[in-house]
Amino acid sequence: MADIDIIENATDGDIAAHIEAALKRALAAGGPVAISVPGGSTPFPIMQKLVAADFDWSRVTVWPGDDRVVPEGHAASNTGKIRALFEPAGASVATLHEDARPPHFALVWLGMGADGHIASLFPNTDPQVDDAQVVRRLTPDPLPPEAPFDRLTLTIPALLDADALMFVIRGGDKRAVFDAAAAGESDLPVARLLGAASQTVTCFT
């Protein structure tokens, strides 16, 4: 079970500063650095602050943790929005596909749905901690009406291949789901990931 550090009432600036510090530590070790970031509405204001960080973004590759199976120019594409933010800063942005080979990440940043899904690992997809694949194409059931598309997602083993994990959980309903998962009181995708995590997990609320 993961060692979880809860940081209450964090601002977008606080969260961006945490990510910046993790990236600076990784860059100081030399070589390229990879991070994984989520889509959705909550992360992008944080990302807008993060891209102002003053370091060599050309050594950083940003991986979407998941995406909808749509062209990058589509309004529902996570990758298109992430690319538009990070590439002007100098970072590379990876494209998810079923044969992609994600690297070891300095940091994996995750959100969570009220149903306990992480990335696009929804409860109906029965994600496994020992999945032999690192990327899967999946169909959420039910399909979210605001984004009724198949998904490409990193699997639990790919998400866990990281120095550190980070969540941003907004709202009391999601917090209750996360707390129950952290206590081992559910078998939701987030609980499976936390149960298998050996690294420190930071959760911003």
Residue 41 is predicted with a pLDDT of 85
CA pseudo-torsion sign 85, 90, 91, 94:
positive
Percent of the chain with pLDDT over 90: 92
CA 98 to chain centre: 17
pLDDT > 70? residue 87: yes
Residue 3 is predicted with a pLDDT of 87
3-state SS, residue 122: coil
pLDDT > 90? residue 58: yes
Q: How confident is the model at residue 147 (pLDDT cuts 50, 70, 90)?
A: confident
Which tokens is 132 given? 């032999």
Measured CA to CA, the distance from residue 71 to residue 4 in angstroms comes to 36
Q: Are 169 and 112 in contact (CB under 8 A)?
A: yes
Could you report the per-residue pLDDT of 33-55, keeping only the tens digit for each? 999 999 988 899 999 999 999 99
Q: How many helices (H) and strands (E) does the chain have?
A: 6, 10
- β-partners of residue 90 are none
Measured CA to CA, the distance from residue 117 to residue 123 in angstroms comes to 6
Residue 159 CB: number of other CB atoms within 10 A? 26
The crossing angle, in degrees rounded to 10, of helices 172-182 and 189-196 is: 40
- In the chain, how many domains are there? 1
Domain range for 107: 3-204
Q: How confident is the model at residue 1 (pLDDT cuts 50, 70, 90)?
A: low
Measured CA to CA, the distance from residue 133 to residue 118 in angstroms comes to 16
Three-point CA angle 7, 10, 11, nearest 5°: 165
Maximum CA extent, the chain? 44
Q: Which letter does DSSP use for residue 111 in this model?
A: -
Considering the entire predicted model, what is its pTM?
0.96
88 burial type by CB count under 10 A (0-12 exposed, 13-18 middle, 19+ buried): exposed
Residue 93 is predicted with a pLDDT of 98
Measured CA to CA, the distance from residue 30 to residue 161 in angstroms comes to 19
Question: Tell me, what CATH number does 143's domain have?
Answer: 3.40.50.1360
Taking residues 152-179, report their average pLDDT: 97
Residue 28 is predicted with a pLDDT of 95
Residue 146 is predicted with a pLDDT of 84
> Across the chain, what does the average pLDDT equal?
96
Residue 145 is predicted with a pLDDT of 87
Could you report the per-residue pLDDT of 94-121, keeping only the tens digit for each? 999 999 999 999 999 999 999 999 999 9
pLDDT > 90? residue 183: yes
